[in-house]
Structure 1
Amino acid sequence: MQYVLGARPRQKAELAPNISGTLTHWVLEQALRREGSAFAKLTQPQLEQLVESLVQEYTAANLPGAGVRMNYLLGRIQRNLVGLLGFIQRDVRQSGFQPVAFELRIDDRPDSDDPDAPRVDPVQLDDGRGHTVRIVGTVDRVDTMELGGKTYIRVVDYKTGSKKFDLREVYYGLDCQMLLYLFTLERNGGHLFSQGTAAGVEYLWADPAPENIIRPETDDAEPSQAQNYPLEGLLLDEPSIYHAMDTRGTGAFVPLSFSAKTGEPTAQSAKARLADREKFNRIRDHLDGMLTDMAKNLYSGEIDAAPLVPNAGKSPCLWCEYRTVCRHADGEGERTPLKPDDPFGAE
Structure 2
Amino acid sequence: LLEREEALRQRGEPALADEYRQLWDILCDVLEQCAHTLEEVVMDQEEFAKLFPLVLSQYDVGSIPVSLDRVSAGEMPRLAHKPCRALLVLGAHDGAVPQAAPAPGLLNDDDRSLLASFGLELAPTLTDKLYREMTILYETLALPTEWCAISWPERGSGGEELRPCFLVGRLRGLFPSLRVEREGGPVFRLSAPRPALLCAGRYPNVGATLRAMPEYTPLVERMERAAALERGHLSPAAVAALYGSRVPLSASRMDKLKSCHFAYFMQYGLQVRARKPAGFHAPEYGEFVHYVLEQVLRTLTEEGTRPVAPPPEREELRALTREIVERYVQERLGGLERETPRFRYLFRRLMRTVYAVVDNVVEELSVSDFQPIAFELGFGSEKDLPPVQFTVDGVTVSVSGFVDRVDGWVENGKLYLRVVDYKTGRKSFDLTDIWNGLGVQMLLYLFTLKREGRARLGGREIVPAGVLYLPARDAVVAGSRAMTEAERRRAVDQELRRKGLILNEEPVLTAMEHPGSGGIRFLPVKVSSRTGAITGDALVSAERLGKLERHIGRLLRDIAGELAAGNIAADPFWRGPERNACVWCDYTAACHFEEGYGGDHKRYLPTVRGEAFWRELEEDQE
Q: For 1:210, what is the secondary structure of its paired residue?
A: coil
Picking from 125, 142, 148, the partner of 2:412 is 148
Partners of 1:212 and 1:55 in 2: CA distance = 30
1:61 and 1:5 mapped to 2: Cα distance? Answer: 35
Q: Counterparts of 1:311 and 1:83 in 2: how far apart (Å)?
A: 34
Q: After TM superposition, list the pairs within 5 Å mapping 1:13-28 onto structure 2.
A: 13-28=278-293
Q: TM-score, normalised by structure 2?
A: 0.49
Q: 2:467 is matched by which residue type in structure 1?
A: V
- Measure, in 1, the Cα distance between the counterparts of 2:465 and 2:583: 36
- With over 3 angstroms needed to count, the CA separation of the structure-2 counterparts of 1:164 and 1:105, relative to structure 1, is same
Residue 105 (structure 1) aligns with: 378
Whole-Å Cα distance in 2 between the matches of residues 12 and 73 of structure 1? 19
Letter in 2 for 1:197: V
Question: 1:40-79, aligned counterparts within 5 Å?
Answer: 40=309, 41-64=311-334, 65-79=338-352
The equivalences for 1:1-347 within 5 A come to 1-36=266-301, 37=306, 40=309, 41-64=311-334, 65-110=338-383, 119-127=384-392, 129-193=393-457, 194-211=460-477, 217=486, 228=493, 229-248=496-515, 250-266=519-535, 269=536, 272-310=537-575, 314-329=579-594, 332-338=600-606, 340-341=608-609, 342-345=612-615, 346-347=618-619
Distance 1:340 1:25, change over 3 A: closer
Q: Secondary structure at the match of 2:405?
A: strand
Larger radius of gyration: 2
1:275-303 CA-partner distances (Å, limit 9, x unpaired): 11121111111111111111111122113
Cα distance in 2, alignment partners of residues 339 and 19 from structure 1:
32
Q: Identity of paired residues, percent?
A: 35
Aligned partners of 2:545 and 2:307: how far apart in 1? 34
Are the aligned partners of 2:475 and 2:492 in contact in 1 as well (CA < 8 Å)?
no
Deviations 1:8-65 (A, max 9, x none): 4444443211110110111111111133248543221121122222222222233342
Task: Note closer, same or farther for the CA distance 1:167–1:217 as it changes in structure 2 (3 Å cut).
Answer: same
1:264, CA displacement in angstroms?
2.0
Paired AA for residue 144 in structure 1:
G
Give the secondary structure class of the aligned counterpart of 1:301.
coil
Letter in 2 for 1:62: R
Question: In 2, are the aligned partners of 1:161 and 1:208 still within 8 Å (CA)?
Answer: no
Name the SS for the 1:319 alignment partner: coil
Deviations 1:130-170 (A, max 9, x none): 33332111000000001122111100000002122121210
Report how many residues are paired.
Answer: 328
* Alpha-carbon distance between aligned partners in 2 of 1:71 and 1:17, rounded to the nearest angstrom: 17
Alpha-carbon distance in 1 for matches of 2:575, 2:307: 46
RMSD: 2.7
Contact 1:31–1:50 (8 Å) recurs in 2: yes
Deviation at 1:330, TM superposition (A): 6.3
**Cα distance 1:141–1:314, how it changes in 2: closer, same or farther (>3 A)?**
closer
Q: Distance in 2 between matches of 1:274 and 1:84?
A: 25
Q: Separation in 2 of the partners of 1:305 and 1:58?
A: 42
1:257-316 Cα offsets, whole Å, 9 max, x none, are 2211122223xx2xx211111211111111111111111111221133432212565423
How far, CA to CA, are the matches of 2:357 and 2:318 in structure 1?
Answer: 11
Q: Could you say what secondary structure the match of 1:316 adopts?
A: coil
Ranges in structure 1 where 5+ consecutive residues have no aligned partner? 111-118
**Distance change in 2, residues 1:335/1:53 (3 Å):** same
